[in-house]
Chains A and B, each alone.
Chain A
Amino acid sequence: MTTATPAVAPVLSARGLVKTFGRVVGLDGVDLDLYPGEVLAIIGDNGAGKSTLIKCLTGALIPDAGEISVDGRPVHFRRPQDAREVGIETVYQTLAVAAALDVASNLFLGRERRRAGILGSVFRMIDKKGMRREAAQALEELGIGTLQNVTQPVETLSGGQRQAVSVARAAAFGSKIIVLDEPTAALGVRESNQVLKMIEEVRSRGLPVILISHNMPHVFKVADRIHIQRLGRCAGVVTPASHTMSEAVAIMTGAVTLAEPNGNP
Chain B
Amino acid sequence: MSTTATGPASTASEQFALRRRSPVQRIQHLLHAHPSISPFLVLVLSFVVFSIINPRFASPNSLSLVLQQVAVIGALAVGQTLIILTAGIDLSVGAVTILSMMVAAKLAQGLGLPGVIAVAIGIGLGAAAGLVNGGLVARLKLPPFIVTLGTLSVFTAIGLLYSKGQSVQSVDMPALLNWTGETFAIGQFHITTGVVMVAALYAIVGFVLANTAWGRHVYAVGDDKEASRLAGIRVDRVLVSVYATAGAIYGLTAWILIGRAGTASPNAIVDANLESITAVVIGGTSLFGGRGTLLGSLLGALIVGFFRSGLALAGVDDQYRVLAVGLLVIIAVSIDQWIRKVRA
Contacts and interface: CB of A to CB of B under 8 A. Distances in A.
A68 B203 CA distance: 48
Interface string A37-63: 000000000000000000000001000
Contacts of B230: 60, 80, 90, 92, 94, 96
Nearest to B289: A100
A112 B213 contact: yes
Contact of A96 (B12, B227, B290, B343): B227
A109 B290 contact: no
B272 to A, nearest CB: 28
Interface string A116-145: 000000011110100000000000000001
B216 A112 contact: yes
Contacts of B220: 98, 101, 109
Nearest to A190: B11
Nearest to A92: B230
The secondary-structure label for the interface of chain A is loop
Contacts of A231: none
Interface string B263-281: 0000000000000000000
A110 B13 CA distance: 28
Given A99-B224, A157-B344, A110 B17 contact: no
Contacts of B226: 94, 96
B232 interface: yes
A146 B14 contact: yes
A109 B16 CA distance: 27
A158 B231 contact: no
A150 to B, nearest CB: 14
B211 A158 contact: no
B13 A98 contact: no
Interface string A181-224: 00000001111000000000000000000000000000000000
In the A-B complex, the 7 residue pairs with the closest CB atoms: A110-B232, A96-B230, A112-B213, A98-B220, A81-B232, A96-B227, A98-B223
Interface of B: 10-14, 16-17, 29, 32-33, 208, 211-214, 216-217, 219-220, 223-224, 226-234, 290-291, 342-344
